């Protein structure tokens, strides 16, 4: 009997090991597979890469696609501009309870709690308060959605959209409280799921955005309101509708933004210093400092979307700006692409042979 059990355990171990090896083989980082996916799935992928003012790869450059958290780039830029103008103060202490008003549990992959934990580790909390500069950094580095909605309210969404226009982002969707819109997409207990989904899908975008602003104001003023939200009621169909209605932009537009930050000449010097502090958190790592003078950007994702906008200046003063957007991904596609993203970007930035391969792949 014991022998049979041991044999059975051995089979389970071998089976589990086989699954692990298969998963690693299929999901492990691979820049070439990442590149192949982009080229073979133009209906899902957009790419634009500029190095030293030369376009080295382009696919669906002007196609407007959902941005997910990459749109927070614009909020951070408006933040830097208002700080420079003295409209907001970087050292103002913000009670984290004000941020918590916009926190919807179970919707951010623990981004907000991870940020708070980091604040504790770095001794940056003072009786539950944190400096405003850390709020925007938490939005960019950790992608806190609660911080995002708070900053939208603080800066004024109309000002953020005016910045979009001043940057020349023609066709870029208007920004609205897209985190609040999760509450619109969550089915209530007494709703028929099929009818609810159909009604949500048919809702005109103007009405949808109006409702998002209404939810945003309720979250701000009524602490009990968010208790009506249950992340478990956001079923996959409703998540897809929410994802498709996120503010959209193009890879070419976001490369233009990355170029402006990376040029160090577009923004005034004070604004540039603030932008560096917000976006260039990867430069905290020694390995990055050994290769780059400047390295920053923002990414975003949903169950269906994966987006990244990156800029870098290496130690030879080569400037590279990258934007890669995916939409309508299947779960395994999303997992594989996220696993390969860092290697793909690193090869673009550091491997001349790989860059030539990119140029050859997208020359037409």
pLDDT at 22 exceeding the cut of 80: no
Average pLDDT rounded to a whole number, residues 3-29: 41
Average pLDDT rounded to a whole number, residues 339-355: 97
Residues 6+ apart with CB under 8 A from 364: none
Per-residue model confidence as pLDDT tens digits over 189-209 = 777 889 999 999 999 999 999
What's the CA gap between 10 and 314, in Å, rounded? 51
Q: How much is the pTM?
A: 0.92
Per-residue model confidence as pLDDT tens digits over 159-179 = 999 999 999 999 999 999 999
Q: What percent of the chain has pLDDT over 70?
A: 92
Residue 29's pLDDT is 63
Please, what is the average pLDDT of the chain? 92
Q: Which of 2-6, 41-45, 210-214, 349-353 has the lowest mean pLDDT?
A: 2-6
Q: Where do the structural domains in the chain lie, given as residue ranges?
A: 30-66+249-361, 89-247
Phi/psi class of residue 23: alpha, beta or left (left: φ > 0; alpha: ψ in -120 to 50)?
alpha
Measuring CA to CA, which residue among 88, 67, 195, 70 is closest to residue 139?
Answer: 70
Residue 5's pLDDT is 30
pLDDT at 282 exceeding the cut of 70: yes
pLDDT-derived band at 363 (thresholds 50, 70, 90) equals confident
Average pLDDT rounded to a whole number, residues 97-114: 96
Average pLDDT rounded to a whole number, residues 229-243: 93
């Amino acid at each position: 009997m014991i022998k049979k059990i041991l044999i059975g355990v051995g089979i389970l171990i071998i089976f589990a090991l086989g699954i692990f090896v298969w998963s690693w083989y299929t999901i492990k980082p691979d820049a070439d597979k990442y590149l192949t996916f982009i080229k073979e799935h133009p209906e899902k992928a957009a790419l634009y890469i500029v190095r030293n003012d030369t376009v080295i790869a382009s696919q669906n450059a002007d196609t407007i696609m959902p941005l997910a958290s990459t749109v927070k780039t614009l909020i951070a830029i408006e933040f830097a501009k208002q700080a420079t103008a003295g409209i907001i103060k970087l050292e103002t202490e913000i009670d984290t309870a004000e941020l918590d008003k916009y926190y919807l549990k179970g919707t951010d992959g623990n981004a907000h709690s991870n940020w708070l934990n980091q604040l504790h580790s770095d001794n940056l909390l003072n009786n539950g308060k944190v400096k405003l500069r850390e709020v925007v950094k938490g939005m960019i580095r950790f992608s806190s959605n609660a911080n995002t909605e708070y900053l939208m309210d603080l800066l004024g969404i109309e000002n953020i959209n005016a910045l979009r226009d001043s940057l020349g982002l023609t066709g870029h969707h208007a920004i609205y409280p897209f985190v609040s819109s999760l509450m619109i997409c969550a089915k209530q207990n007494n709703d028929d799921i099929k009818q609810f989904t159909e009604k949500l899908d048919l809702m005109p975008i103007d009405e949808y955005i109006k409702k998002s602003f209404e939810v945003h104001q309720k979250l701000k003023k009524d602490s009990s309101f968010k208790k009506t939200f249950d992340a478990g009621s956001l079923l996959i169909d409703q998540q897809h509708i929410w994802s498709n209605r996120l503010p959209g932009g193009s890879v070419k537009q976001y490369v233009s933004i990355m170029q402006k930050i990376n040029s160090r000449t577009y923004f005034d010097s004070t604004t540039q210093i603030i932008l560096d502090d917000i976006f260039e958190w990867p430069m905290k790592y020694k390995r990055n400092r050994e290769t780059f003078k400047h390295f920053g950007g923002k990414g975003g994702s949903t169950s269906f979307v994966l987006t990244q906008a990156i800029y870098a200046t290496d130690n030879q003063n080569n400037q590279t700006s990258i934007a890669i957007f995916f939409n309508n991904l299947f779960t395994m596609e999303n997992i594989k692409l996220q696993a390969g993203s860092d290697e793909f970007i690193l090869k673009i930035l550091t491997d001349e042979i790989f860059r030539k391969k990119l140029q050859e792949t997208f020359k037409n």
